[in-house]
Structure 1
Amino acid sequence: MFSLCKSHRTDNEAAGAASTPGVEGTAAKELRMGAEWESHARTFMSWPALESVWGEDLPYVREDIARVARAIADYEYVVMMARPDQRKAAQKACGRDVEVIPLEVDDLWARDTVLVFVEDDGEGTLLITESSIVNDNRNPGKSRDLIEAEIKQTLGIKKVIWLAGVRGQDITDAHVDSLVRFTAPGVVLLDRAHPDTPPDSWSHASDQAKAVLSKATDAEGRPFEVIDLPQPDLYEITGEGDDFVSTYANFYVANESVFMPKFGDREADKRARSILQEHFPERDIVQVRIDTIAAGGGGIHCSTHDEPGKPVD
């Protein structure tokens, strides 16, 4: 069986309608991963634990994670996993509306490490980046055909659409949840690089993805509706760093809400919020500052994982 959960530094991410590292999709009728916009019982998160990973930024990334947890807790139950010796500090930072449980976690990337939930029924379409999944740092020695067959069997997928992604230009080899996200069956938001983005940036993976999606159909034979989700101007954002992920596509859909980054480019932040509101008209769109998380190569979706089901009271 190929690896679905390893470290954030080498794995792909879930996105949109999926809840599994490396894939973006809605699963088939035999088994399915609930679409992220369906009801959640709770959200799981993970407390950043190691100074060896974050160095002097550890206090700041903890502030970001606590800020995200408090925001989501206004809409659904949040469980924060933290090392036993860090539990008290995490609870203080997150507030009483977040349940903090003792668990030997290493880092904040809950999307890579929390259990994957599958159930009956679904739409059957999955999007995936080859650069991240068909990669020896994740699934050594496994071919694309083998990986696809095992994903279909495990998750009940009927159709896989492969996107090229890009290798070596970011620490994730182009996780799909920073590239393209479902907002409804057959409807996706596609990250688009700012015009001033260097031509060798991972962000230009969207050019190939758009070409593929414009010709593809989903498992039900529907052509994709692809809507651009433009990035901010890197000269206007408040964050910085070589690994900074400036995509709005790494948003998280929770009960009655959507959580997206706020990068500091006022025009771009406003435009992205408007696009998400158009596609989730009955949900509150909540912008959260996550500069340190983004500087570490991730986003809000990377740091959360939903459990489907009836909301916890």
Structure 2
Amino acid sequence: MNPSDLTYKMPPEWAQHERTLISWPIQDSMIYPDDYDNVCKGYTELIQAISEFEPVTVIVNPGDEEAVASRFSAENIEILAIPHNDAWLRDNGPTFIINKNNELAGINWGFNAWGGKYEPWDLDDQVAPELLKHFGTKKFDAPLVLEGGSIHVDGDGTLLTTKECLLNPNRNPDLTKEEIESIVKKHVNIEKVIWLNRGLIGDETDGHVDNVACFAAPGKVLIQVCDDQSDENYEISQENLAILRNATDAKGRTIEIIPIQQPPARHYNGKRLTLSYLNFYFVNGGIILPVFGGDALEYDKMAEEALQNVFPDYRIRKIDGMAVVKEGGNVHCTTQQMPAVSTRNGEG
């Protein structure tokens, strides 16, 4: 049976977490391996920031336990050895789901390194089942290649994604849009998919939605926008805004749109970096927000104020958004939330 048949569904990210899971970077798989020390400093800052709100499990390769553990003193940061090729746990980790009895299970999606871009990925494709095994959590294998960064849910029947990624032939070439939507609905238990067109320019994931837009609540969507008509992201943001303005969610609500201005463009080695405030991460009672400094200071402040207005009771914890973005992702891409439940085994 599918998870939805058993009343499982994916909770929204702002639901209470038991912990955050995050994978430690692997130098050999980095785009810029000479930057490894700086990336590790960025991960250290991120993990320490998350630990101010909730426990963190850091996944390392066997043999690296002591070296990584020595960076941390907080009692709620634990080290777990699971072999992996790369560090983006949002994309190769399990998607956690909860049933009506408040029992936890996990979806094991197929993973092929964002359409076969980075080899090898054999270990990464096994991270989700290994994590579920470690935590004694029921596993559902999904017949679909899908990364966690390509979907957002509102917890009330609606899912947000992009056609550029989820329908990309480098993921599931033999499946139609209708077949992909059906599989997703059966596994995360949603009723409606809102399909945005494209993600940001320069996004190596083929347009993950977690750099573009996310739910702030049922019927309410935050979206990064660009008002500069000469910018490559202008047309993309206008398309996505038009889709949201004309959309209704699973309950028939029109979408309240909350725009956040994108920061100024930055390039590294001739390539545009995917700078996004929407790659923030919900933690218990707070938000971890990547900020970019320099010519983005004004935009950093506007993004922080926008989020504080939407979430007045949350503490906005800012961290250096430039620390890991050259590797192709940011705060949300590195993390995976484990929801808080009464039992983990899903059989209870």
* TM-score in terms of structure 2 length: 0.75
Q: What one-letter code is carried by the residue in structure 2 that aligns with 1:260?
A: L
1:12 match? none
Q: What one-letter code is carried by the residue in structure 2 that aligns with 1:42?
A: R
1:62 match? 40
The structure with the largest strand share of the pair is 2
2:131 match? none
1:260 match? 289
| Structure 1 residue runs without a partner (length 5+) | 1-26
1:193 match? 226
1:307 match? 338
Question: Alpha-carbon deviation of 1:136?
Answer: 2.0
Q: How does 1:35-50 map to 2 (within 5 A)?
A: 35-50=12-27
1:223 match? 254
1:158 match? 191
In the alignment, the residues of structure 2 paired with residue 116 and residue 67 of structure 1 have an alpha-carbon distance, to the nearest angstrom, of 25
Q: What one-letter code is carried by the residue in structure 1 that aligns with 2:83?
A: E
Note if contact 2:161-2:194 (Cα within 8 Å) is conserved in structure 1. Answer: yes
Other structure's SS at 1:58 match: helix
Note if contact 2:279-2:332 (Cα within 8 Å) is conserved in structure 1. Answer: yes
Question: Alpha-carbon deviation of 1:234?
Answer: 2.9
Q: How does 1:202-281 map to 2 (within 5 A)?
A: 204-234=235-265, 240=268, 242-264=271-293, 265-281=296-312
Question: Alpha-carbon deviation of 1:198?
Answer: 3.0
Who wins on radius of gyration, i.e. which is larger? 2
Question: Alpha-carbon deviation of 1:174?
Answer: 0.8
Tell me how many residue pairs correspond in the alignment. Answer: 280
1:84 match? 62
Q: What percentage of residue pairs aligned between the two structures are identical?
A: 33
In the alignment, the residues of structure 2 paired with residue 130 and residue 148 of structure 1 have an alpha-carbon distance, to the nearest angstrom, of 11
In the alignment, the residues of structure 2 paired with residue 29 and residue 208 of structure 1 have an alpha-carbon distance, to the nearest angstrom, of 37
| Pair 1:100 & 2:131 matched | no
Q: What one-letter code is carried by the residue in structure 1 that aligns with 2:241?
A: K
In the alignment, the residues of structure 1 paired with residue 327 and residue 227 of structure 2 have an alpha-carbon distance, to the nearest angstrom, of 20
Question: Alpha-carbon deviation of 1:123?
Answer: 0.7
CA RMSD of aligned residues (A): 2.3
Note if contact 1:243-1:296 (Cα within 8 Å) is conserved in structure 2. Answer: no
Go from structure 1 to structure 2 and tell me whether the alpha carbon gap of 1:283 and 1:29 turns closer, same or farther (over 3 Å shift): farther
Question: 1:19-43, CA deviations, whole angstroms, 9 ceiling, x for partnerless residues?
Answer: xxxxxxxx99933211111110000
Question: 1:136-157, CA deviations, whole angstroms, 9 ceiling, x for partnerless residues?
Answer: 2211221111100111111111
In the alignment, the residues of structure 1 paired with residue 213 and residue 54 of structure 2 have an alpha-carbon distance, to the nearest angstrom, of 25
Note if contact 1:261-1:287 (Cα within 8 Å) is conserved in structure 2. Answer: yes
| Pair 1:112 & 2:91 matched | yes
| Pair 1:73 & 2:51 matched | yes
Q: What one-letter code is carried by the residue in structure 2 that aligns with 1:289?
A: D
**Off by >4 Å, runs of 4+ in structure 1:** 166-169
Q: Which moved more, 1:268-277 or 1:27-36?
A: 27-36
Other structure's SS at 1:106 match: coil
Note if contact 1:29-1:124 (Cα within 8 Å) is conserved in structure 2. Answer: no
Question: Alpha-carbon deviation of 1:101?
Answer: 1.1
| Pair 1:292 & 2:270 matched | no
Go from structure 1 to structure 2 and tell me whether the alpha carbon gap of 1:52 and 1:297 turns closer, same or farther (over 3 Å shift): closer
Q: What one-letter code is carried by the residue in structure 2 that aligns with 1:259?
A: I
1:16 match? none
Of 125, 128, 132, which aligns to 2:161? Answer: 128
In the alignment, the residues of structure 2 paired with residue 36 and residue 150 of structure 1 have an alpha-carbon distance, to the nearest angstrom, of 21
In the alignment, the residues of structure 1 paired with residue 6 and residue 244 of structure 2 have an alpha-carbon distance, to the nearest angstrom, of 23
In the alignment, the residues of structure 2 paired with residue 250 and residue 137 of structure 1 have an alpha-carbon distance, to the nearest angstrom, of 23
Go from structure 1 to structure 2 and tell me whether the alpha carbon gap of 1:268 and 1:50 turns closer, same or farther (over 3 Å shift): same
Other structure's SS at 2:96 match: coil
| Structure 2 residue runs without a partner (length 5+) | 101-154, 343-348
Note if contact 1:196-1:233 (Cα within 8 Å) is conserved in structure 2. Answer: no
In the alignment, the residues of structure 2 paired with residue 67 and residue 214 of structure 1 have an alpha-carbon distance, to the nearest angstrom, of 37
Note if contact 1:32-1:120 (Cα within 8 Å) is conserved in structure 2. Answer: yes
In the alignment, the residues of structure 1 paired with residue 176 and residue 201 of structure 2 have an alpha-carbon distance, to the nearest angstrom, of 19
Q: What one-letter code is carried by the residue in structure 1 that aligns with 2:244?
A: L
In the alignment, the residues of structure 1 paired with residue 166 and residue 64 of structure 2 have an alpha-carbon distance, to the nearest angstrom, of 33
Question: 1:192-240, CA deviations, whole angstroms, 9 ceiling, x for partnerless residues?
Answer: 13627633x4x642221110110111000100001111111236xxx84
